[in-house]
Amino acid sequence: MDVRNMIELMQDGMIETVKIFFFTLIFTLPLGMFVAFGRMSKFRIIRYLFKFYIAIMRGTPLMLQLLVVYYGPYFLFKVPLSNYDKFYAVIIGFVLNYAAYFGEIYRSGIEAMPIGQYEAAKVLGYNKVQTFVKIILPQVIKKIIPPVTNEIVTLVKDTSLAFSIAYIEMFSVAKNIASAQTTMTPFIIAGVFYFVFNLLVAFVMGRVEKSLDYYTVK
């Protein structure tokens, strides 16, 4: 089997990898903000609940979390695995995991803002929502772009962990072809795909960061 045939066989897997990436990102970005606010809540119970959630998500392997999300309904509620779509399990597992990381990144950015920003906004007559949306949030986004980019790059590579619940994405296809053909070529193709994908992510995030230079506090 030549390289062209291998790439053709891996195309569907590449599409699945991209789907995992984009759906995780779409849900994680807003959920991370929710986690950040929960972590900063003035109510101790809420604050500690989110702190515990973050500790669990960051303190256990993503692969283990995927297994729990997929097999949990069967062992706990006897829901047949045939009725549970693996794609949903993958997305739920990834979103819950990455929301914890994004939440902490958001929180660090928000808490790093000088108190003077809030005081100046109050003098100008802004309420709390206006202050956050119009003044604080744009500056926070500018500050957190580098760590967010690192997490997104990691997400691209972590999509390969979907193989742990036998979800067919690119890495799974590459592994199957390599085993059948006894060759490293599929892994090289997969490596090139991840590398190019991450180059694109870095480029896009770099453009986003540059577009926010206006909000840099000097």
CATH of the domain at 134: 1.10.3720.10
Q: Report long-range pairs for 35-40 (Cβ below 8 Å, ≥24 apart).
A: 35/99, 35/100, 35/102, 35/103, 35/104, 35/106, 36/102, 36/103, 36/104, 36/106, 36/107, 36/110, 38/103, 39/103, 39/104, 39/107, 40/107, 40/110, 40/111
Containing structural domain, residue 191 = 3-215
**Cα(22)–Cα(85) distance, rounded to whole angstroms?**
18
**What pLDDT was estimated at residue 61?**
96
Residue-by-residue pLDDT tens, the chain, 218 positions: 778 888 888 999 999 999 999 999 999 999 999 999 999 999 999 999 999 999 999 999 999 999 999 998 888 887 777 656 889 999 999 999 999 999 999 999 988 888 888 888 888 888 888 888 888 888 888 889 999 999 999 999 999 999 999 898 999 999 999 988 889 999 999 999 999 999 999 999 998 888 877 655 55
Total structural domains within the chain? 1
135-157 tens-digit pLDDT: 888 888 888 999 999 999 999 99
Two structure tokens written together for 198:
């991450």
pLDDT number for residue 113:
85
CB-CB contact of 19 with 159 (8 Å) = no
39-76 burial string, b = 16+ CB within 10 Å, else e? beeeeeeeeeebeebbeebeeeebeebbebbbeebeee
Q: Which residues contact 210 (CB under 8 A, 6 or more apart)?
A: none
What is the reported pLDDT for 84? Answer: 67
Angle at 37 between CA 150 and CA 213, to 5 degrees: 45
216 CB-near residues (< 8 Å, 6+ apart): 142
